[in-house]
Amino acid sequence: MLKSPALSGIVAFATQLSPMMVLAIAILGGWLFIALAAPLIAPYDPDTIDIASMLTAPSADHWFGTDQVGRDVFSRVIYAARVDLFLCVIGVLPPLVIGTIVGLFSGYFGGMVDSVFMRVYDLTVAFPFFVLVLAIVGVIGPGLVNFIIALTIVGWVSYARLVRAEVLTVRESEFVRAAECLGYPRRAVLFQHVLPNAIGPVIAYAVSDAVLVMLAGASFGYLGMGAQPPLAEWGVIIADGQAFIQQAWWICLFPGLAAISLGLGFAFLGDGLGQWQRREVAA
């Protein structure tokens, strides 16, 4: 019986998954399903106000209780998963792409390109990450789009530095030198030989960085600088419930637990990818 090479590769990869990777895939897969199926899972509209049911404790009708205007917290937590998963992807993807391109050219060509990048890097890391993002959002204004723009402006530098370090090692490899001696175009050497062999640690870092992005999104939503009410987002829900924490603890508890579980999923996946990559290098 013939087997597809792609299928054989998937099976081989699956057999090497650590328990941490399996747990991470289960957590992230569960949240992805919840986000996609939110209209089917949520029993109520997340923005529907019901003053008669305000600050209702968890019950059979409202599993996570209701907030200060009677909105169902369970439905809002479910719909907020869409926003926070979106943040994890969009908050990582632009810095990853920009940083990879800059780091690739900086590490391979060196010279003035590398010098300019290193000065930009030194200037960026002179300020704490959150402070710099907060300053940019304060200048361009609050909102989800502006928060992502600020993340991109600050975040690409770390990716570029990591890619640069990997490229500096890979460019001295024999297969790269051989490709250059055979007259391969620099574009082919960069994107067919250097980049594929330098991108592995960057992907693992990007997965781990999704945790920081998610926490930053929730934090800025809590501060009123990220997602804006009435949009259902975990940080916004926690901020709404802060004033009622003593009489309605459930408003803050359940979105907080959701944020922690999603963060653990990305953290476990990042650690698992790092361990798997180290095993491949050792082999």
pLDDT tens sequence across 21-51: 888 899 999 999 999 999 999 999 998 888 8
Answer whether residue 1 shows pLDDT above 50. no
- Angle (CA) 155-156-157 rounded to 5° is 90
Tell me the average pLDDT across 193-212: 85
| Structure tokens given for 43 | 């029993």
Which has more confidence, 9 or 116? 116
Looking at the DSSP bridge assignments, the partners of residue 66 are 72
Please state, rounded to an integer, the average pLDDT across all residues of the chain: 84
Q: What is the 3-state secondary structure (H, E, C) of the chain?
A: CCCCHHHHHHHHHHHCCCHHHHHHHHHHHHHHHHHHCHHHHCCCCCCCCCHHHCCCCCCCCCCCCECCCCCEHHHHHHHHHHHHHHHHHHCCHHHHHHHHHHHHHHHHHCHHHHHHHHHHHHHHHCCCHHHHHHHHHHHHCCCHHHHHHHHHHHHHHHHHHHHHHHHHHHCCCHHHHHHHHCCCCHHHHHHHHHHHHHCHHHHHHHHHHHHHHHHHHHHHHHHCCCCCCCCCCHHHHHHHHHHHCCCCCHHHHHHHHHHHHHHHHHHHHHHHHHHHHHHHHHC
Provide CB contacts within 8 A for 249, sequence distance 6+: none
Answer whether residue 249 shows pLDDT above 60. yes
Measured distance CA(31)–CA(43) in Å, rounded? 17
Nearest residue to 255 (alpha-carbon basis) of 231, 239, 243: 239
Tell me what pLDDT residue 57 has: 92
User: 223 falls in which pLDDT band (50, 70, 90)?
Assistant: confident
Place of tokens 């509209």: 45
Instruction: Evaluate whether 54 touches 172 at the Cβ level (below 8 Å).
Output: no
Measured distance CA(210)–CA(264) in Å, rounded? 10
- Angle (CA) 135-137-140 rounded to 5° is 110
What global pTM score does this model have?
0.81
Answer whether residue 282 shows pLDDT above 60. no
Tell me what pLDDT residue 277 has: 64
| Per-range mean pLDDT, top range of 19-23, 147-151, 221-225, 272-276 | 147-151
How far is CA 98 from each of CA 104, 206, 216, rounded to the nearest angstrom? 10, 13, 20
- Angle (CA) 96-282-193 rounded to 5° is 45
Nearest residue to 67 (alpha-carbon basis) of 233, 242, 218: 242
Q: What is the gyration radius of the CA atoms in the chain, in angstroms?
A: 23
Tell me the average pLDDT across 139-148: 89
| Per-range mean pLDDT, top range of 92-101, 120-129, 187-196 | 92-101
Measured distance CA(262)–CA(218) in Å, rounded? 12
Tell me the average pLDDT across 78-101: 91
Query: pLDDT tens digits, residue range 48-89?
Result: 888 888 999 999 999 999 998 899 999 999 999 999 998 888
Nearest residue to 232 (alpha-carbon basis) of 117, 44, 84: 84
